[in-house]
Amino acid sequence: MHHLWLRESPMLVNEQHTIDLAKEGDHDAFARLMSTYQDRLFTSLANSIGCETEAEDVVQETFVNAYLKLSGFRGTSSFYTWIYRIARNVAATRQQRLKSTRSLDVALRTMGQEPVDCTPQAVNALENAEQANDLATALQRISDDYRTVLVLREIDGFDYATIASLLGIRVGTVRSRLHRARLELGRAWRQLKGNE
């Protein structure tokens, strides 16, 4: 039985074929799935977790778990949604186990570079890097629940229903958390800039 979402795009039909091959033990097919989603998953996790090294570890562990649980993928959601749920569970488990201080790798990666020249492009690039650094720092100052919803909506571009499904909460809760996240982020931004 084909699901409605499979009929919408030839790419999704091809993805389902790749998933079926992977379920049958085709390691190359699973490697193609990993290749398709690992960068997107990493970016989402790095923005949500705030530590690139931890995000890399979570992605790796997620794909190991996905491979082991692949027979359980029913296709009622997209493969990315399914794998993202696994990633969120892995991240939560690792956070409970490690209970370590979060790193600000995402924010720090842009620091320490002086522009080689003073052209308007170089100055703009530096200003953009400083803004990105400030935004990453402000994001780390808001609560995990709010940051996760904000990243899923504003960076990953998910709609409310998908976010609700990913996090196992109601759409109204997504809207509420998103509103509060924006307020908290604005407050953190103003504090960072010394305006409050």
pLDDT tens figures, 140-164: 888 888 988 988 888 778 888 989 9
Confidence of residue 129 (pLDDT cuts 50, 70, 90): low
pTM: 0.54
pLDDT at 133: 73
pLDDT at 188 > cutoff 90: no
**Domains of the chain, CATH where assigned:** 1-103 (1.10.1740.10)
Residue type for position 99: K
51-59: long-range pairs with CB below 8 Å, 24+:
51/102, 51/103, 51/104, 51/105, 51/106, 52/105, 52/106, 52/109, 53/103, 53/105, 54/91, 54/94, 54/102, 54/103, 57/94, 58/87, 58/90, 58/91, 58/94, 59/87
Half-sphere exposure at residue 184, Cβ-oriented, CA atoms within 13 angstroms = 20
pLDDT at 41: 92
